[in-house]
Amino acid sequence: MSPPPAEPFAWAPTAEQASESRLRRLLDRLGCAGTDELDRRLRAGGAPALEWFWEAVLEDLDLEWRAHPERMHDSGRGLPWTRWWPGGRLNLVDNALTRHVRARPGEVAVVHEAEDGTVRRWSWARLGAEVEHAARALGALGVGPGDAVGLCMPMTAECVALFLACARSGAVVVPLFSGFGPAAISTRLADCEARVLCVSERFIRRGKPVRLLETAREAAASAACLRHLLVVRDPGDAGPPAELATPGERWYHDLREASPRAGGPEDTDSDDTFMLIYTSGTTGRPKATVHVHGGFPVKAAQDMAHCFDVGAGDRLLWYTDIGWMMGPWAICGALTLGATLVLYDGVPDHPGPDRLWSVVERHRVTVLGVAPTVIRSLMAHGEGPVRSHDLSSLRVLGSSGEPWNDGPWRWFLEVVGGGRCPIVNYSGGTEVSGGILGGNLLTPLRPGAFAGPVPGMVADVLDESGTPVRGRVGELAVRMPWPGMTRGFWHDPERYLETYWSRFPGVWVHGDWAEVDRDGLWYIRGRSDDTIKVAGKRLGPAEVESVLVSHPAVAEAAAVGVPDPVSGEALVAFVVPVAGVGDPRALGEELRELVAAELGRALRPRAVEVVAELPRTRNAKVLRRVVRAVYTGADPGDLSALENPSAIDALRAVARGR
């Protein structure tokens, strides 16, 4: 439920934070007193208002164009197929690299810390040289404009160089989760007909090698389209290199030096495809969202500037993987804005529970982004690991991926941020290129809240008939187009229209439950397909999970609805306990009563199951649909996004013991 209007805000900006923010500068440029006025003008102004707003954004971001656009957008084919910056020509590399190499070549562009403690720092000039070397290597393998190139690596400096080199060459980069199995990789490579797969030979997790090349070889055997594996060896790896098995396997560091000099960046149109990001579904093959040079990079930079206040003096660390949207988002946004991109290639609690905080201190991170699950897991170690490090460099905290619970949000705010750093909550998705809702440095906040729609996003909350609602849960929707919206699903336009545009005419329905309170703050209440209906009440899982994690013995929780012969659906919850908890059955019963006391007797869970872990993606999002399916014995659908398949066995053991 929404907090009552009288509840005090947990964070409010200082006069300095508000007045010096990039969002304030944009609003002044537009002549708007605040975000509410901007939102009203966009809603009332239609297409001319979009032209007015996005022209100001381009000026604020100071993007470089090879040919300036004739206008801001064209919806002549209908809103789902809106083209942005028609007539404009630009390449991601022009704005994310070349202009910074020219202006400040010696400043640090990328910092990469591996789990073993190895640190590398690349200046803008070094990054420019590395991207040219990477483009040489790709060119030597025959990669040209329009060719798809898979990128299956952890977040390393070489990963950034190859990502940018694809854009520089006019190729289409296909980021892939570094924890994927062979089938998940081959399915995606075959779908986009990739010619080359860039893959790390191996990397370290919790002190043990992960031999990614072996996985890639299995995947390549099933992807007939693939011609080459471009194998990247970690420069700090002292172990013996693998033996390359076929002529199609080539060492990246050899090829990039031996190849002829690469030409300049391709002269790409703003609507030329530069990236496909695959998302998983409950059934069927994964879908590839199509992103263009004038879409995803612009949206990433705009959100980063106007929500997170990132600029050239910042150091951004977002804990993620290249295979999830936030990996490319961090690369495109931070580098376009001239910020230093900090990469941590490891887990946040190895070799000790203070590892993430030590990385923040060591590299003077100013903007830190994590998923709420990361904070919930690190909370279990107490405040000591945080307070043992100097985190005074931080000025903005970010979060994405899932709804917050009250306690972890406050812990992040007070313990990590010292009460002075805003938590910029951020929610959108792969198909959006960033956020629909976001926080900012102007709006006071309560736990888990969003300030409102990201500037430029004309969002709404709709009931079953498409009528806007306030003060109760409804479908999150967007009424006007924006630059970052996917240009459809790869070779499947009908699936794109059915997924987002079929519910209400001319309205994008995102698939999240949202709510707006009487003070105008927005909340995400979970995925609409995660909704639980118990005793006639529609219930978001986050509401139950907030109660469960408030118990000191609970580190994480997931709530799902399961079939019930009497009520139609019953509530079942799963919790991961903190270390040292005794009888799991006793804890489960105690938690059932806690939920009943907080939410009402009618909502007491049928069961609260104690498990060692919950199935999650690399960016720490808990897959409730998988929890529900495994527990009920149904088909869990696509499991390729799972980071921890062992969680499935734990759930099956619980299901058998019912």
**pLDDT recorded at residue 531:** 67
473 falls within a domain: no
**Assigned domain for 225 exists:** no
For CA atoms 486, 489, 491, 494, the dihedral sign is negative
User: What residue has token string 């994405």?
Assistant: 400
Average pLDDT estimate for 151-165: 97
> Binning pLDDT at 50, 70 and 90, where does residue 18 land?
very high
Rounded distance, CA 496 to CA 289, Å? 9
Residue 104 lies in a domain: no
Evaluate if residue 282 carries a pLDDT over 60: no
Residue 181 binned pLDDT confidence (cut-offs 50, 70, 90): confident
| Whole-structure pTM value | 0.86
Mean pLDDT of 219-231: 95
* Band (620; pLDDT cuts 50, 70, 90): low
pLDDT score recorded for residue 307: 98
What's the rounded Cα separation, in Å, for the pair 537 and 545? 16
Average pLDDT over residues 385-400: 97
66 class by beta-carbon count within 10 Å (0-12 exposed, 13-18 middle, 19+ buried): middle
Share of the chain above pLDDT 90, in %: 71
Q: How many CB atoms lie within 10 A of CB 193?
A: 14
- Residue 469 pLDDT more than 50? yes
Separation between Cα atoms, residue 336 and residue 617, nearest integer Å: 27
**pLDDT in the model for residue 1:** 41
Distances (CA, A) of 269 to 54, 66, 199, 295, 493: 18, 9, 28, 11, 21
Q: Which pLDDT value is given to residue 582?
A: 77
Task: Report the DSSP beta bridge partners of residue 329.
Answer: none
CA-based torsion, 442, 447, 451, 454: positive or negative: positive
Is-cis flag, bond preceding 351, omega within 30? yes
Q: Which domain holds residue 588?
A: 531-656
Distance CA 13, CA 420 (A): 8
Domain assignment present for residue 310? The answer is no
Per-residue model confidence (pLDDT) at position 642: 80
Say which residue, 645 or 424, is predicted with more confidence.
424
CA-based nearest residue to 374, from 343, 397, 396: 397
The domain that holds 621 is classified in CATH as: 3.30.300.30
332 has pLDDT over 80: yes
Q: Please state the rounded mean pLDDT for residues 466-472.
A: 93
- Asked if pLDDT for residue 283 goes beyond 50, the answer is no
In a domain, 307, yes or no: no
- Asked if 402 and 600 count as a contact pair (C-beta separation under 8 A), the reply is no
Given a cut of 70, whether residue 5 has pLDDT beyond it is no
Residue 640 lies in a domain: yes
Dump pLDDT digits (tens) for 523-564: 998 777 676 766 555 666 877 888 898 898 998 899 998 887
Closest CA to 156 of 131, 120, 105, 189: 120
DSSP sequence for 418-482: TTTS-EEEEEEETTTTEEEEE--SSS-B-TT-B-EEPTT--EEEE-TTS-B-SSS-EEEEE-S--
Identify which has the larger pLDDT, 292 or 645. Answer: 292
| Residue 59: predicted pLDDT | 96
In a domain, 636, yes or no: yes
Q: Are strands 452-453 and 459-462 parallel, antiparallel or unpaired?
A: unpaired
pLDDT value of residue 4: 44
Highest mean pLDDT, choosing among 207-211, 243-247, 329-333, 532-536: 329-333
36-77 pLDDT per residue, tens: 999 999 999 999 999 999 999 999 999 999 999 999 999 999
Q: Which helix (H) or strand (E) holds 256?
A: helix 252-258
In eight-state DSSP terms, residue 416 is I
Question: Residue 442's pLDDT band (boundaries 50, 70, 90)?
Answer: very high
Provide the number of structural domains found in the chain. 1
10 Å Cβ neighbour count for 503? 16
Read off the tokens for 17.
């934070």
**pLDDT at site 543:** 73
Domain membership of residue 103 (yes or no) is no
Beta bridge partners of 445: 11
Rounded to an integer, the average pLDDT of 449-461 is 97
